[in-house]
Amino acid sequence: MKLKPGNLKAPECIGLRWVQGEPRTLKDLEGQIVLLFFFDYSNEHCLRVLSYLKIWHGRYVDKGLEILAIHTPEFDFGADKANVRRAVEDLGIPFSVALDPESKTWDTYANRHWPALYLIDKNGYIFDYQFGEGGYFDFETSIQACIKQVTPRIFLPRPIELSITDDTGALVTPITPNIYFGYRRGRIGNPEGFQENSVAKYILPEQIRSDVFQAEGFFLAREDMLVHADTEIVRLVLSFDAAEVYLIAAPDPAHTGPAKLTILQDGNPLSQSTLGRSCTIENGQSICEVWFPNLYHIVKNDSCERRLLEIQTATPGARFYCATFTTES
């Protein structure tokens, strides 16, 4: 959303720990065009927007655009600098990245969204901002407008053409919203509800509710996660309406090796056509190995329909944070 030029001075970035690139302030970058990108590496929406930022970096880095990605963690593991550095390398992020472990810069901007973009002009004022996905054509037009303020006669490429996700007239299919497994934001379908901060045995209810999760077995319910608290097999069951499923999960940090998850859909192992990118088929079972705290693509369907997802594991200490649903990958 464009702002009146010179109306709102961009707050300085504070409390950052640099993961990639040299430490810099907005004051250091005055005279240049700066794009702040608030993100979390385990957020699928952020990763989609990241693909556009890589293109803009390639197009405009030599024309005065500086992109600063600010990783503000949604979950505990995202405050670990080593985890963020690994993700930055895996994602091939070519621009500067800083960790905002205590959300100080996030709060300075009164930000509440992953992802969020703030475009800052040569004089240090916010020129445009964008929350969530979409709007890429308009935002790139704003980038070009800021660059032309510095170099009026510069030749710039044609902005990226609109895709279906940018078309405000496109039909949007309602899908299941994020399902969190921690008690602070979670929605559990077990009649007993969450047993907060204690190990409890959860019994799978006879009636499976839609758009929440049901648990079976011994779990430890924490504020932002559900932890497998036994050596026996446990289950998480979700009735969802979407095409694809992503899972934010982590292994027990106190042990080596992955958390091994078995994924079923509608009571059956996934097929080659429905197997997520993070899964493999082993002995007829669809398996996801969780080596690091991350976002895992576990289910890929061709259409949005009501389906039943089941996640099983016997790996002690496996941690479950959130399931995310999309219409397509």
Task: Identify which has the larger pLDDT, 167 or 128.
Answer: 128
In this prediction the pTM is: 0.91
- Among 167, 142, 158, 148, smallest CA distance to 2 is for 142
Calculate the dihedral angle through the C-alpha atoms of 145, 147, 148, 151, rounding to the nearest 10 degrees. Answer: 180
Query: Beta partners for 180?
Result: 322
Question: What CATH code would you report for 179-326?
Answer: 2.60.120.260
pLDDT classification of 256: cutoffs 50, 70, 90: confident
Both structure tokens of 36: 């702040």
Side chain identity, residue 267: G
Q: Residue for token digits 């803009």?
A: 56
- The number of beta carbons lying within 10 Å of the beta carbon of residue 111 is 20
Residue 152 DSSP code? T
Q: Does 179-326 match 17-166 at the fold level? A: no
> Which pLDDT tens digit goes with each residue over 13-62?
999 999 999 999 999 999 999 999 999 999 999 999 999 999 999 999 99
Residue 172 confidence (pLDDT) above 70: no
pLDDT of residue 163: 53
Cis preceding-peptide flag for 253 (omega within 30 of 0)? no
Taking the C-alpha atoms of residue 130 and residue 34, their distance in angstroms, rounded to an integer, is 14
Residue 326's region, left for phi above 0, alpha for psi from -120 to 50, else beta, is beta
Calculate the dihedral angle through the C-alpha atoms of 10, 13, 18, 24, rounding to the nearest 10 degrees. Answer: 60
Average pLDDT, the chain: 93
Residue 328 confidence (pLDDT) above 90: no
pLDDT of residue 160: 82
Edge-first strand order for the sheet with 96-99 is 17-20, 96-99, 65-71, 33-39, 116-120, 126-131
Both structure tokens of 62: 């030599």
Q: Write out the H or E segment, with its range, that includes residue 136.
A: helix 136-150
Taking the C-alpha atoms of residue 133 and residue 135, their distance in angstroms, rounded to an integer, is 7
Which residues fall within 8 angstroms of residue 213, CB to CB, at 6 or more apart?
Answer: 179, 181, 186, 187, 188, 189, 236, 237, 238, 323
pLDDT of residue 255: 85
b/e per residue, 130-140, with b = 16+ CB within 10 A?
bbeebbbeebb
Taking the C-alpha atoms of residue 243 and residue 306, their distance in angstroms, rounded to an integer, is 9
Q: Does domain 17-166 have CATH number 3.40.30.10?
A: yes
> Which pLDDT tens digit goes with each residue over 259-294?
999 999 999 999 999 999 999 999 999 999 999 999
Question: Domain spans of the chain?
Answer: 17-166, 179-326
190 in Cβ contact with 205 (< 8 Å): yes
Mean pLDDT across 299-320: 97
